[in-house]
A and B are shown apart, each in its own frame.
Chain A
Amino acid sequence: MASPAVEVAFANARQYARQPINLVLLALIPPLFIIAMSSAIGTFSDVLGGNLGERAGTGLAGLWAASLLTGAATFFILRTSVRTDGRLIAAGLRSSSLGLAHATTAVALATVTTAVSFSMLMLTQDVSKPADLFGAILLATLIYAALGIALAWFIEGDLEGSFVIILVFMLDAFVGGPLGGGGGFFAGLFPVHFPSEIAVASMVGASYKAEWLAWSGIYLLLLAGVSPLVIWWRSRQ
C-alpha cells in the first residue's frame, strides 16, 4: 500500500496530466521561448541596457520558460485541489502528508519542466557547462514552484493569480535579471536573479560566484518555508 502522501501526489499528477492544455503548453512554451525568441533577446538586451549575446540570452529564455510553466502549474494545482484537500483532512489525512504530497508534486513538476527546457537547449545550442545550466534552471523552477504555492496564500481567483505570476515573471525577466543588466541589491531581490546569472555564465563558460548559489538557496528555502503554511491555511478554508 502506497503512503497517503504518494497517493495524493499521484492524484495531483493525474490532475495536471489529464488537462490537455498543460501538456500542450509543456511541449510548446520551451521551444517557443528558445527558438523564436533567441534572436530577439540580444536586441532586447541592448534596449534595456544589458549586453547579452544570443547564446547567453537563449539560455536565459530556457530558464524563463521552465520557471513560468512551473509557477503557473503549481498555483493552479493548489487552487483546484484546495476544497478536496480540506475533505481529505476531515477524512483523517494528516496535514503533514498533504504538505509532503504537494511538495513532491512541485518538485516533480519543476524537474520535468527543467528537463524539457534543458533538453531543448542542449539540442539547439552549444552549452559550455551543461551540469551547471541544469542546476540553475532547476533552482529557478523550484523557486517559482514555491512562489506559485505561496501566492495561493493571498490570491483566490484563477485570473488574478495568473496575472500576478506573469507580472512577477515580467519584472524578474526585464528588471531583475541579466537581460537589462540588472545588478546590485535591488536586482538581487527578484526571485530568479541569481539562477539567471548562473545560467548565463554556464551557457558561455564564464565563471560565477559561489554566493550566487547560496542566495538562490536562501530564496528557495524562504519560499519553501511559506509553502507548508499556505497548504495548512488553505486546507482550513
Chain B
Amino acid sequence: MTVADPVLTKQPAPSARVTFPSAPILRVSDVHKSFRRHSWLPGGRVNQVLRGASFAIRPGKMIGLVGENGSGKSVLLKIIVGLMKADEGSVELSGRLGYCPQIPLLYDKLTSDETFRLFAHAYELDDAYALERAEHFYEFLNFGQFRGELIENLSGGTKQKLNLAIALMHEPQILLLDEPYSGFDWDTYQRFWQLADSLRDSGTTFVIVSHFIEERSHFDRILRVRDGLVEDEDV
C-alpha cells in the first residue's frame, strides 16, 4: 500500500521551512530531572530520572527512542514538548512540533469533530484547512464512522487514531510520538509506518518511543535512555 494522499504528505509553506536543513532541528543539552516524594520527611525519597541527557537530531531523520520501563523516555519527551520542566539543562527546538502522548490527553466528553476543531484553534489553523485535514485523517486511518461519538465511548484503538491525527493535523516538522500505535490493528499499524516513512522521506523528523525490535529497520538512528543518560545504539 502506498500513501497517495498529497494532503498527508504536503510540506510546510516555504517561509516556515527550516532555514539550514543540516543544522539540528532538536538539541537537548544536559537535561536533569528528578521527582521528589516527601523528600523533606524521614523516609521521603528523590528519584533521579534524568542525569544529564544530551543529544541532537538533524531534520528528516527517523529516530527510535528505546529504554526499559521507567527509564525516563516519556519524561524526556514531556520536557522537550514543554509539558514538564527540567531541573537543569536546555532544549532547543526549531520548527513546528507535533506531540502524540502515550495516553490520549483529550477531553473525553467531546466528539472527534469537536476535538479537531479545538486543536485547530490551538494550532491557529483556519477552519476550512482544519476540516480538510480532519476528513483526510478520518479516511486514511478509517475512523470517520465514529466522528460524532464522544471520546469516552471510543475503543482504545480509535482513541489512539484520533490521538495520532491530532499530532499530525498541523503538518509538524518534528514529531514526538510516545508509542503511537498501541491498540492499533495490524492494518492500521502498517498504514502508520507507511505514512511515517513517507513523511520522513519528505523531510519530517520523527522521534518515536518504541519497544519492538522488528521496528529497528525503520529507524535511521536509535537512542537508548539508560541510567538517566541518552546514548546512541547500533541500528
Contacts and interface: CB of A to CB of B under 8 A. Distances in A.
A1 B126 CA distance: 8
Contact of B121 (A7, A15, A83, A236): A7
Interface stretch (A45-53, A87-95, A157-165): A87-95
Contact of B122 (A4, A14, A19): A4
Given A88-B122, A93-B121, A11 B82 contact: no
A170 to B, nearest CB: 29
Contact of B83 (A7, A11, A86): A86
Interface in B95-145: 97, 99, 101, 105-110, 114, 117-119, 121-124, 126-127
B8 interface: no
Interface centre among A2, A15, A19, A88, by most chain B C-beta atoms within 10 angstroms, is A88
Contacts of A8: 118, 121
Interface string A1-36: 111100110010011001100000000000000000
B118 A87 contact: no
A207 interface: no
Contacts of A3: 121
Contact of A15 (B81, B99, B110, B127): B110
B75 interface: no
B107 A15 contact: yes
B58 interface: no
B26 interface: no
B34 to A, nearest CB: 15
Given A11-B114, A14-B109, A84-B105, A92 B85 contact: no
Contact of A4 (B84, B114, B121, B127): B121
Contacts of A92: 122-124
7 contacts: A1-B121, A1-B126, A8-B118, A84-B107, A88-B119, A89-B82, A90-B99
The 8 closest A-B pairs by CB, nearest first: A91-B122, A93-B122, A4-B121, A18-B109, A87-B105, A83-B105, A7-B121, A15-B109
Interface of B: 81-85, 97, 99, 101, 105-110, 114, 117-119, 121-124, 126-127, 150, 170
Given A80-B108, A90-B81, A237-B84, 7 more contacts: A1-B127, A87-B99, A89-B83, A90-B82, A90-B97, A90-B99, A236-B83
Interface of A: 1-4, 7-8, 11, 14-15, 18-19, 80-81, 83-84, 86-93, 236-237
